[in-house]
Amino acid sequence: MSGGEVIVVLGVIASVISILDGAKQIIDAAQDVKGLHEAFRKVAENIPLVLCTLKKVQQVLRMASMNSPDTAHKMDIDHSAKEVRPVFESCQTNANALYEIFKEVVPADEDSRLERYKKVLSTVAPGKKRKVEDLMKETLEKLQLLHLNHFFETAVSDMGLVNAIKELDAVESSLPDDEEGKYVNTGSGPQNIHEGSGEQYNNTISGGERNVQYVAKHQTFGGPPSETEGQTGMDAHQGARSSVTGGGC
């Protein structure tokens, strides 16, 4: 096993998987999923995609750390783990918020869901976009950033993350128009995603309640993962889930 950063990152990934699995169980147990807002259903559809991506990354990191041939390689793995740690910490923050929202809103009667939703939004993830669709979209965007790191690019390529992000962009807001301004994103800074080959410049990533700088140094990055044309909606998500499940997700 490699150094301490690998152990920490594997622990954070395991935590995110556990939290999102709990959120999925809430949806699975719900009696009236059809009565949920479209945004909640779209977020629920993306949970398996996130879980599969995280499990692939977890496997890649674990295998790389176990099979390190020398000290220099172990240090390289540990350095990469340190660089991407803010990505998973941000995913953990969002997963916690999603779980709390689902726990309060999904099991409730349809007539009371909106009020319960507005109430829980005032308490989870302060200073960030807190609508369910924003939390899931940010999680997918963070995972998409992993294609910039040479250890993880194969784990997130062809996973359908880009399509999923576009679909969440198009979903109707889970809050009425008159409530929209009350839940604004005041904490996240700019995020520069490199989409070409060559050296990567800095990416500012918000992780939980603290802002950290993800600086990918001295790595050669390829372009963004390709998306399967014509495969959208649940077909895209199902295709990604099937391909990953075949890989031991």
**Residue pLDDT, tens place only, 168-219:** 999 999 987 655 555 444 344 444 444 444 444 344 333 333 333 333 333 3
pLDDT of residue 179: 57
Instruction: Compute the mean pLDDT over every residue in the chain, rounded to the nearest whole number.
Output: 75
Q: Angle, to 10 degrees, between the axis of helix 38-66 and the axis of helix 161-170?
A: 160
Nearest to 209 by CA among 117, 139, 124: 124
Identify the top-confidence range among 1-10, 171-180, 240-249.
Answer: 1-10
The whole model's pTM is what? Answer: 0.71
Contact present, 227 and 160 (Cβ < 8 Å): yes
Q: Is the pLDDT of residue 50 over 90?
A: yes
Mean pLDDT of 2-10: 87
Mean pLDDT of 80-90: 95
Which residues are paired to 203 by β-bridges?
214
Question: Cα 230 from chain centroid?
Answer: 23
Q: Among 33-47, 78-92, 170-184, name the one with the lowest average pLDDT.
A: 170-184
Per-residue model confidence as pLDDT tens digits over 120-160: 998 886 655 579 999 999 999 999 999 998 888 888 887 89
The more confident residue out of 158 and 80 is: 80
The beta-carbon contacts of 169-175 under 8 Å, at least 24 apart in sequence, are: 169/137, 171/38, 171/39, 171/42, 171/133, 172/37, 172/38, 172/39, 173/39, 173/131, 173/133, 174/37, 174/38, 174/39, 174/40, 174/117, 174/131, 174/132, 174/133, 175/117, 175/118, 175/121, 175/131
Nearest to 37 by CA among 136, 120, 110: 110
- Beta strands, E only, the chain: 203-207, 210-214
The more confident residue out of 103 and 2 is: 103
